[in-house]
A and B are shown apart, each in its own frame.
Chain A
Amino acid sequence: MLSKKEKKLIKEIWERLTPVAEDIGSEALLRMFASYPGTKTYFSHLDISPGSAHLCSHGKKIVLAIAEGAKDISQLTVTLAPLQTLHAYQLRIDPTNFKLLSHCMLVTLACYLGSEFTPVAHAAMDKFLSAFAAVLSEKYR
C-alpha cells in the first residue's frame, strides 16, 4: 500500500526522469541482460547491443509507460489496460522477469540519483514497481 507521501515522491521522481527516459530505460535493460542473460531470449528480433537504436527506443518506451503510470497510481489498472492485453496475449513474457527488470531499474535509479535515492525513496519505488508488475500480469490467467 502506497501512502499519499509515497505517491507524490514517486510522481516527482518519474517526472524528473522523463527527459532522460532513453538513458534510464536503455541502462536498466543493459543491466538486466548482463545480470540475467535468460532475459535476452525475449529480444532475439532486436539489436540490443549497447547504444543501438532498438535498445534506446525500447528503453524509452518502458520508462515513459512507467512515468505515465506514476502520474495517477490509483488508476494503474485503467492506464495499463492496453499494455496488460499486449503482455498477456502477444508478448507472453514470464512475469518472473518483471521482478528482474524492476531490480535493475532500482539499481539504475540508485546510480543516477546517488544519495537522493534514500531508503524511503527506495521503499516507495520498490512498492510502486511491484504494483506496476502485478497489474501488468493481471490478464495472464
Chain B
Amino acid sequence: MGMAADSEFHVLAVDDSIIDRKLIERLLKTSSYQVTTVDSGSKALEFLGLHEDLHDRIDQNTPSVSPNNHQEVEVNLVITDYCMPGMTGYDLLKKIKESSSLKNIPVVIMSSENVPSRISRCLEEGAEEFFLKPVRLSDLNKLRPHMLKTKSKDHCKEQVDEKTAFPSPKQEGKEESNNNKRKATEEGVSPERTRPRPRPRPNGITTMV
C-alpha cells in the first residue's frame, strides 16, 4: 500500500544555534519528517513530557511518550547537538536512556568536533548514530531504519523494508528494549542484525560500538 510513511515520523531536533536549528529543520522536512525544534536539552525533556520530580510510570505498555501530562505527540527520534550550554547532548541522551518511558526513543548526536572518545562515549550510552556537522541530507537517510523499529503501528510493508534495509549497528542492551510490547512489528529484528558493523563515512568516521 502506498503510504507516505515518513510523514508519520516526528523528529525532535535540539540545538542551541539558531542557524543549525533552521538547517536541521529544513533537512528533516526535505526528508518528509515532521519536525519540532527546541534550543536546549531541558526544553527537549519538557517536550518529551519528562519532569525531574515525577516518578516514572510502571506501565511500560503505554505507546505514547508522556508518563504524566498533556503530551500527546509521539516522538520517533531525537537528534541533538553535543555542545550546548547547560545540558549537553550527552546529558540529554543519558536522561532519555535512563527514563523507562523514553529509553526506546532513538537518539542521534551531532557535533562539529571529531573527537573519537566523544563519539564512542555517545554510542556506548545508546546513541544510534553520531553525525559530524555540517549534517548532510545523505546522513539523514540513516535515520529511517531506527525510527521504523520504534513505530507502534503494524505495517507489514515496513517489516519487509526493514529486513532488506541497511542493517544498523546496535548495542547489546538494545535487544532488551526490542522486547517492549509496544513494538509489535519487531519480529523482523533477528539477533544477527544486532551485531555492530562498522560503516565507513566519507570523512573516515565509522559508527561502531
**Are A and B part of the same complex?**
no
